[in-house]
Amino acid sequence: MATMATDTVKQNKVALAICATLLSYSTAAADWQFTPSVSLEETYTDNVAVTDTNEISSLVSQAGLLFDSSYKSRLIDFNLKSKSVYAFYSHDHDIDNDFHEVKSDITAKLGNSGFAVIGNVSVRNQSRNAARNALADIVSADTARVENYGAGLSYNVANSEFQLTSSIIYSDIKTEDNIGEQNGFVASLNTQNGNSADHVFWNLQSNYQERKNSGRKSEQYQAELKIGWITNWHINPFIRYYDEDNSGTMANSGTNESNSYGIGVRWLINPRMFLDISYNNPIDDTVDIEGKEQKEYVDATLNWQPTSRTSLEASYSQRFFGDTYRFNLTHKNRRLTNTISYDERVLSFTRNNFAAISQGIFWCPDGNATNLESCFISGDSDIDQSGYRLVRITDYQLVEDDVLSLNKTLNWRSELSLTRTKFIFNAATTEREDLNTRIKNDSKRASFEASRRVSGRSNVKLTASYTENSFQLNTADERTDRYRQVGVGYDKSLNSNLTVKFDLRHVNRHSTDSQFNYDEGRVTLSIIKDF
C-alpha cells in the first residue's frame, strides 16, 4: 500500500501543482468542491485468463482512493478526477499491483484579454494488446498505463466583426510498454467574419502539428481559406485555397500532400442554411498517393443551423488519397440528444498498429485447424498424422506505429432521458488504412444501456454491447474477433455518503481463430464511502 500512496502522489503531481496555483487567485465568487472517497471492490471471475480451455477462477480485490474536485470562477475552470487502487489476485499474488487513473483539465483566463492558459492530464489503463483481448481491464490484469500531459496557451475573440479561436499546446505521451510514446506540439488558427460583415466574408481553418517518437518525426499541416464578396442576392462568389502536407522521417514513401485553388459560390438558401460549391485546380502537377496526377475536383459544404439546439454540417472534397467526406449532426431537445459525426484523419504514433507474427507450423485436426490445444508441432514424427493437416498459425502483436495511416471514423450517440428512466445508445466504426502497405484494419462497436431509478436511493441498469475487430483485411492473415457482452447492475445509497453496487456480467468472444474463443462470467460487489 505504501507503493500505491507514493505512486498516487507522482501521478497527481501536475494536478496538485495546478491546485496550488488556484489558491493564489482570489476565491471571491468562486465555486470550490472537493470530495474524497474510499472504495472496496470484490470481483469473482470464472475465467481470469480468458482462455477457451483450462479456465482459472479468481477473486480480485481492489482497495481504492478517489478524489473528485472542481473549481469554477470568472477566470478559472478546473476539474480533477483521480482514482488509485491496489488489486489483489487470489489465483496469483505475484501479479498484485497498483493502478492509477487521472483526468484533469484547467482553463485560466488572463483577465479580459482573450488569452488563457490551458492544461490537461490524463492517465488511464487500456488493453495492452487489443488483438489479444480488446476488453482487457484491471480484473484480467492485462492492461498498459498510458499517460498524457499537455499545456499551452489559447487566444479567443468573438464579436460582431469577427470570430477567432487559436491555441498552441505542447503534449507528452508516455506508455508503460513504450509503444505509442510521443511528444511535440499542436497549433491551430480558425477565424471567420462576424454578423456585421457587409462586403467581405471569410473562413480560415488551419492546424499544424509536429510529433517525435524514438528518433522519428511526423509533421502534419492542413489549411483551408475561403474569401468571398457579399452581394445583394443570395449568390455570393468566393475564392478557395487548400493546402495539406504530411511528412517527416516516417516509413511512408508515397506522396501525402494536396495543394489547390478554386473559385465558387455560396448559395444562401435561407438565413440559417447555405451551400458552398467550388471548382478547384491542383497546383504544380501534384500527384496523389498512387503516383497519379491529381485532377480538378469539386468541393462542396452544406451548413444548416435551424435552431440553437440543432446543427448540421456535411462536406465533400478530395485530398491526396482520393474522395473525402465530413459530417456532423447535433440535435437536442428537452429529453432527447443525438450526435452523429464522421471524420477522416491522418494519424501516426498511435497504439493501433498490429503485425502478424507466425507462431509456427502445426499438425492440426481437420475442422479444428486453429485450436493449438489440439495441434502438434510439425517436426514431431511420433504422432499418427492421419486426419491432420499442416497449418501455419499466426497471432497479432502491437508494434510501434511509425507510419502514416488514414483513419475513417463514424460515431453515433443517442440519449433519451425520461422522468425515472434513461436510455443510451452508442455506435462507432473505424477503418484504419496503412498508407505505406495499404493494408486495412476495421473496428466496430455498439452498446446499449437502460437505467431506471426504482426508488429515491436505488437504481437498476441493464447493458449490452457488441465489439468486432478485423485485422489485415483481404490478406492471408485476416482475422476477425467478435465480443458479445451483457450485464445487469443495481446500486443503492445507504445514506448520503455510502453507496453499495452489485453487478453481473457475461462476455463471449468468438474469433475466426478459435484458440482465442472464450466465455467469462463476473460477479462484482463494491462499496464507496464519500467524505
Q: What pLDDT is attached to residue 1?
A: 45
Q: Which amino acid is at 216?
A: R
pLDDT along the chain (531 residues), means of 10: 47 51 52 95 96 92 97 95 97 96 96 95 96 95 96 96 96 95 96 93 96 90 97 95 90 77 96 96 85 92 95 96 96 95 94 87 65 62 66 85 94 96 98 93 98 94 98 92 98 94 97 90 97 92
3 state DSSP class of 281: strand
DSSP letters for 342-378: EEEEEE-S-S--EEEEEEEEEEEETT-TT-GGG-EET
Q: What pLDDT is attached to residue 12?
A: 52
Q: What pLDDT is attached to residue 253?
A: 54
How distant, in Å, are the alpha carbons of 3, 220, 244, 276, 278 from that of 282? 59, 19, 12, 19, 13
Which set of grid coordinates corresponds to residue 95?
Answer: 501479479
Cβ-proximal residues to 517 (8 Å cutoff; 6+ apart), any chain = 52, 509, 510, 511
Task: Give all strands of the β-sheet with 376-377 in edge-to-edge order.
Answer: 376-377, 354-365, 388-398
Backbone phi, psi, residue 363, to 5°: -85, 115
3 state DSSP class of 255: coil
Q: Give Cα 494 distance to the centre of its chain.
A: 35
Reported pTM: 0.88
Q: What pLDDT is attached to residue 52?
A: 87
Neighbours of 513 (CB within 10 A): 19
Q: What pLDDT is attached to residue 485?
A: 98
Which set of grid coordinates corresponds to residue 17?
Answer: 501543482
> Please, which residues bridge with residue 115 across strands?
155
CB 220 within 8 A of CB 208: yes
Q: What pLDDT is attached to residue 26?
A: 44
Q: What is the 3-state secondary structure (H, E, C) of 268-335?
A: EEECCEEEEEEEEEECCCCECCCCCECCCEEEEEEEEEEECCEEEEEEEEEECCEEEEEEEEEEECCC
Q: What pLDDT is attached to residue 369?
A: 44
Q: What pLDDT is attached to residue 513?
A: 84
CB 121 within 8 A of CB 15: yes
Q: What pLDDT is attached to residue 371?
A: 59
Q: What pLDDT is attached to residue 298?
A: 97
